[in-house]
Structure 1
Amino acid sequence: MKIALITDLHANREAFSAVLDHAESQHAGQYALLGDFVGYGGDPAWVVNRVRQMVADGAIAVMGNHDSAVLEGPLPSMRDDARAAVLWTRAQLNAEQLAFLAALPMSQTQEDRLYVHANAYDPRAWEYIQGRLEAMRSLHATECRYTFCGHMHEPMLYHLSGTGKAGDFKPVPGMSIPLLPNRQWLAIPGSCGQPRDGNPAACYALFDTVSHELCFQRVPYDHDGAAARIRAAGLPERLAQRLLTGD
């Protein structure tokens, strides 16, 4: 079975729709949605409703820091653009949509796979996996062979051998990577709704539970349409521009 790993949707209807269409074309049989469904983008209600329906149909979903901020208020560390988007977003969601976000778990485990937004060692602190050190700390915090997380908006893959040797590399889109059974793995698919690696195409990844192969994907989408929604909402222009440049 292929699991589509999608994270950091950030209220980007156009990107999420394109990724779902692509995943369907690749015969994805399950979906794991790794948080940050809202924030930054201009269509939070549509995205939350789509995620709710997918969860009702069997998808996995976990809470992200922007989802939490919409419920509890912006974090002190949030930049002005993010803070403005959080405050605007809360006013766009109804009671049922907010209740859905509030009920999201911090992490979920399925067989030998851990799904979490930020990291495995302290999910509620929202610390970033910015390099090998944080990745190894996360892998040491779980017995799962595979950890899939978001939060960082750039695709990345880390591994830890049984002897404690660590490694990392930036994946090439479209290339299947065999995840060897004698290692632990931590994969960051990259952001669906707001990529930040200089490539504006939406990110996600596919994990094959039979072959144990992981394939990172990039999907073009209607950036102009998504940017127009941000501008129509009166959100900061920088949030619209980022979609066009992927920075």
Structure 2
Amino acid sequence: MRLALLTDLHANREALDACLTHARAQKADQYAFTGDFVGYGADPAWVLDTVMEHVARGAVAVQGNHDYSVTHETRPQMHFEAREVIEWTRGQLSGEQMAFLSGLPLTQEFERMLFVHASAHDPVKWEYVTGLEPAERSLRAARKRMVFSGHVHTPALYRRADDGRMGSHVPVPGTRIAIAPQHQYLVIPGAVGQPRDGNSAACYALYDDVARELVYYRIPYDNGAAARRVIAAGLPIVFAMRLIEGI
């Protein structure tokens, strides 16, 4: 199975379309979406329809914190501009789309894999996995060889060796990474819809469970068009600038 891993789509139609087009060219035969389909961007309905179509064909999907906020009372921890987009998003979605978001699980398992938006240690706390210690907590809680998550908007890869030692790897786009069967891995592909590592190109990854290889990709897309959509929708301009600057 060649599994395309996409996370933090954030209502960015142009970025998602570019990543899916690239994944098809790489002969992906299954898809996993690890949350935050809405928020920040101007096309939540189109993005959700696209995810729902993939799920109907067998794709994995789990709930992210922005998805959760749209269908629940907005959390006070969320900053003002993000809350503003959440309120706007509620008015853009159909009843079917809202039901889809509210019905998404926090985690999903498939064979030796676990999918979660943030940390598997306590998924609904939405912990940011940004170092070895939180990565180890997530891996220990997951009890699966391969853990796929998102939330941090930056590509990352963590490994827990069979002797318990933790390590990290900075992924190089397009480079094949061999996956050792005796180790445990936490894969964070980076954000499709709002990268924050200084590179505005969209992120996704592809995992081949037969060849036991993982590849991270950066996909240039028309981020100017996506930014103009944010402005035209009347959403905070900071979210348009993030798409241009990648921060």
Task: Verify same fold: TM over 0.5.
Answer: yes
How far the C-alpha of 1:119 sits from its partner, in A, is: 1.1
1:90 paired with 2:90, answer yes
The DSSP-based 3-state class of the residue aligned with 1:217 is strand
Count, aligned residues? 247
Alignment deviations for residues 16-57 of structure 1 (CA, whole Å, 9 cap, x no partner): 000000000000000000000000000001101111111001
Alignment of 1:32-51 (within 5 A): 32-51=32-51
Residue pair 1:34, 1:149 contacting (<8 A) in 2 also: yes
Q: Deviation at 1:169?
A: 1.8
Amino acid at match of 1:215: V
Following the alignment from structure 1 to structure 2, what is the Cα–Cα distance between the partners of residues 103 and 82? 22
1:124-163 matches, cutoff 5 A: 124-163=124-163
Query: TM-score, normalization: structure 2?
Result: 0.99
Cα separation, 2, equivalents of 1:191 and 1:74: 22
Structure 2: give runs of 5+ residues left out of the alignment.
Answer: none
State the distance in 1 between where 2:72 and 2:17 align. 28
Equivalent residues in 2 for 1:56-71 (5 A)? 56-71=56-71
1:184 is aligned to: 184
Question: What secondary structure is seen at the aligned counterpart in 1 of 2:41?
Answer: coil
Cα distance in 2 for residues equivalent to 1:65 and 1:57 = 24
Alpha-carbon distance between aligned partners in 1 of 2:22 and 2:28, rounded to the nearest angstrom: 9
- Structure 1: segments with no counterpart, 5+ residues: none
Match of 1:10 in 2: 10
Distance in 2 (CA, whole Å) between partners of 1:50 and 1:161 is: 37
TM-score by length of structure 1 reads 0.99
State the secondary structure of the residue aligned to 1:141. helix
- For residues 133 and 179 of structure 1, what CA distance do their matches in structure 2 show? 21
| Superposition deviation, residue 73 in structure 1 | 2.8
Structure 1 runs (4+) deviating above 4 angstroms are none
Q: CA deviation at 1:80?
A: 1.5
Q: Percent identity?
A: 54
* AA matched with 1:177: I
* Partner SS, residue 243 of structure 1: helix
Give the AA of the match of 1:241: M
1:17-32 superposed matches below 5 A: 17-32=17-32
Greater alpha carbon shift after TM alignment, 195-204 vs 121-130 = 121-130
Match of 1:120, as an amino acid?
A: A
Q: CA deviation at 1:126?
A: 0.8
Question: Structure 1 residue 106 and structure 2 residue 106: aligned?
Answer: yes
Per-residue deviation, residues 64-121 of structure 1 (Å, max 9, x unmatched): 0000001113211111221111111011111111001011111111110001101111
Q: Residue 216 of structure 1 aligns with which residue?
A: 216
Taking the aligned partners of 1:56 and 1:202, their CA distance within structure 2 comes to 24
Q: Which residue identity does 1:108 align to in structure 2?
A: Q
The amino acid across from 1:145 in the alignment is R
How much has 1:179 moved relative to structure 2?
1.1
TM-superposed CA distance for 1:180, in Å, is 0.8
Aligned equivalent of 2:123: 123
Query: How far apart, CA to CA, are the structure 2 residues paired with 1:41 and 1:14?
Result: 10
- Distance, in Å, in 2 between the alignment partners of 1:18 and 1:96 is 25
Equivalent-residue separation in structure 2 for 1:91 and 1:199 (angstroms): 31
